Amino acid sequence: MTRFRRIGLTVKSGFDHKDEAVARILKILRTLKCTVAVDPSRIHDLPCARKCEPMDPRKKIDLMLVIGGDGTVLRAVREMRDFSVPILSINRGTLGFLAEIELDEADRILPALMNGDGMIDERGLLKIEAVRKRKTFFSGHALNEAVIAQGTIARLIDLETAVNGEALTTYRSDGLIVATPTGSTAYSLAAGGPIVHPAFDSAIILTPINPYSFSQKPVVISGRSKVDVGVRMKIRKFADVDVNLTIDGQMYVPLQDGDHVHCSMAKETVKFLRRKQDTFLSTLRSKLRWGE
């Protein structure tokens, strides 16, 4: 693996001792003689980073370093313009399923990874389109999931769901989660969905949220599938029913009766720099506290 030389650095917007954490990582990178460009909106005002140049999308980087939790990684993915750039996450969040190393082990592990002692782990992305009267009014990507859900207590909606043009079912529920294997340990898991190993990058998980029917269970389908979800709000006497499309828990798109959401696996993938060993099962044990 080619040694990484030009590094982009972003960080969680707010956490304790942020300047100390960034300073520690910058010291390691400078020792490795790397050029560092920092996120101007979240790092450039820190005393330790004032001599660093700001990131510029016109200038290519070899690696994106992310200090934070899973939410910070998801935000970094959403803001990326070049999916060929791998991401290395240093955990300063809570669960940190997407994080590869902890801050207190960065002095030991980061130099090895920067010098080629690692592997690239590719994760699938969902391509999401929202269509109204045959016109696409939103298009984006999700690393974890797309959620079509109502935001009002005790107001069920009908979600007519088809796979590859064939009717699957109409979910009468609070909503539907369309997740990747990476997202199987996020909201889908909390809603009763299965854990799917990220090695199954060609898979899509459909998890209903509080379905009215006991027969409507989560289902895993081929990643080559195309999912269409039609929004139907038949009970119009409740004017306060709001339905939104939520991307990775961070972007919200209001939906209307009759809108359709199209989901399929994107051609692009997100690339993570990892240690050579598979850390997913150990992450499950440590983060979900299996066996305790």
Per-residue pLDDT of the chain (292 residues; tens, 9 = 90+): 458 999 999 999 877 788 899 999 999 999 999 999 999 888 877 888 888 899 998 899 999 999 998 999 999 999 998 999 999 999 886 667 888 899 999 999 999 999 888 999 999 999 999 999 999 999 999 999 999 999 766 678 999 999 999 999 999 999 999 999 999 999 999 999 999 998 887 899 999 999 998 889 999 999 999 999 999 986 555 556 789 999 999 999 999 999 999 999 999 999 999 987 766 787 788 777 776 6
The CATH architecture that domain 126-267 belongs to is Sandwich (2.60)
Q: C-alpha angle 168/178/188, rounded to 5°?
A: 115
Active site includes 62? no
- Helix segments in 46-100, DSSP class H: 70-79
The reply to whether domains 6-118+275-287 and 126-267 share a CATH topology is no
DSSP 2: P
The CATH architecture that domain 6-118+275-287 belongs to is 3-Layer(aba) Sandwich (3.40)
3-state secondary structure 212-272: CCCCCCCEEEECCCEEEEEEECCCCCCCCCCEEEEECCCEEEEECCCCEEEEEEEEEEEEE
Measured between alpha carbons, how far is 282 from 292 in angstroms, rounded to an integer?
Answer: 14
End-to-end, the C-alpha distance of the chain in Å comes to: 38
Q: C-alpha angle 152/244/79, rounded to 5°?
A: 135
Distant-in-sequence, close-in-space partners of 54: CB < 8 Å, separation ≥ 6: 37, 38, 39, 40, 44
* Domain spans of the chain, in order of start: 6-118+275-287, 126-267
Catalytic annotation, pick one of 45, 56, 70, 158: 70
